[in-house]
Structure formats: structure tokens, C-alpha cells
Amino acid sequence: MKGRIFTFGCSLTHYHWHTWADIINFDLDNEFQNWGIAGIGNVSILHKMLECDLKHKFNSNDIILVNWSSWHREDRISIEGGWEWMCGGNIFNNPTFDKSFIDKYWNEHNDIVKNTSAIIMANKMFNINFQSHMVDFDNYIDVSDDYKYLFDNLPNTVIFDITNNSKFNNKTWDAHPDVICHLNHVSTVYNSLDLTINPATVDHFNKLQEYIVTELTDTDINMSWDEKCKFFIELLGRNSTF
């Protein structure tokens, strides 16, 4: 397959352990850039795609892959983060936005319009080769018939399937998809692109999953969030095999 590969999304695309994007980078020889940022929403993803295009000039050979994020996110540029996107995730468990902000500014209609518009604009602006979704937007359709014109123009729903995610979550604090779940998602991406994953890649990431799980059995999972994040960074960084 020719062309550069660009991936976009939230923590389901870039996280402490290897995601579907990292597995594709491992499996293929293409020039690769992962623009995923943990915690960002779909408006941010649209803007990151535009930034990437302006800096790297997408062409017809490029492969653009996106996993759209959840819809309850507040996308803003923050001066405290060095003029970067605030990446706090869901507004309802994001310490940046208190109850008074949510009561005053949040509503489901705003979520619908800004998320559907971001996804539709991205599809009109860029030749996206594959896209999936963290949430099923069909759950929002009954809110108002006024938005039918938006839902009618969304791409087909391909939900990031986390049904095979129990093995890892039973051993950690974290609800994010495990390595095997990401490996399964790569199969979904490849089916759309008419590609076949290298068996050596499958073997490699199966072993990585077992390595992480084995390490965790001897680790205090009651560590603080920062300690847990540091643990995974050090865990994967200190083992040159992975």
C-alpha cells in the first residue's frame, strides 16, 4: 500500500499502551504519524486534521484513519497548556469544568450540533479512508427531528468494539481497551482497506498483552492515577522487545 498514514482520535488512538494506530505502524512500512491525543473531542480532532493537512499537505496517496471520540467533551484552547487543546475527556468527570459551568452551558443539543458538524466537515474536507466511532450516535437521533439533516449526512456507524476487553480490565483501574481489543480493531480497519495483517504482528502484540498482564499481577493497582500512568510508560519503555 502506497502513501503516508495519518491517524486521528482520542485516547482510543494514542494512550499509555499500544493502540490500533501503533499496531498499524508496526505492521506496515509506510511513513506514519499518529495525531491522536488522549482526552480530546471531535471538534479538536477536526482541527488537528486541518493542522496536519496545512503542515504536511495531504495528497491522494495518503491514508487517513480516524476514530471519533465521545460527544460529551468541551473543546477549548488553553493558555495554561501552552496554547494547546484542553484534554480532560468527558465534561461530567472533568475537573476543569465545575457544576455551575455545566448547568449554565452544557446541553445535549449543543453536543449534537457541534459533533455531527465536525464529523461531516471532516468528511467534506478530507478523503478519509476509514473511520470508526467511540459512541453510537444513533442514541441521539430521537432528541429532535430538527437535526435529521445532520444525522442523514453522517458516515456509516462503525463502533469501536470493546466487547473483548474483559481480560485486561479485570486486572487494572482502567476502562480503556486493552492491546487485544486494539488488535481486533485493526482487523476491522484492514477489512475496510482490503489488507491482511502480518501473523508476526498478531503474535507480537499477543505477547505484549501477556507481558503487561504478567507485570500487573505483581503491582499495586491501588496506586494514584499519576503513578499508574508512570508505571505503564516505564513498563513499556524499559522493555526493548516492545
Q: What is the 3-state secondary structure (H, E, C) of 22-44?
A: HHHHHHCCCCEEECCCCCCCHHH
To the nearest whole percent, how much of the chain has pLDDT over 70? 87
pLDDT, mean over the chain? 87
Residue 65: name the closest of 20, 12, 8 by CA.
8
For residue 218, pLDDT over 70 is answered with no
pTM for the whole structure? 0.90
Question: Which range (31-35, 184-188, 222-226) has the least confidence?
Answer: 222-226
C-alpha–C-alpha distance, residues 79 and 146, integer Å: 36
pLDDT, one tens digit per residue, over 196-205 is 999 999 999 9
Residue 173: name the closest of 103, 229, 116 by CA.
229
25 sits in which H/E element: helix 20-27
Measure the CA dihedral 14/137/186/56, to 10°: -50
pLDDT, one tens digit per residue, over 93-147 is 888 888 998 999 899 899 999 999 999 999 999 999 999 999 888 777 676 678 8
Cell numbers for 225, please give them: 492515577
Confidence of residue 48 (pLDDT cuts 50, 70, 90): very high
Pick the more confident residue, 170 or 235: 235
Q: What is the pLDDT of residue 214?
A: 79
C-alpha–C-alpha distance, residues 32 and 21, integer Å: 9
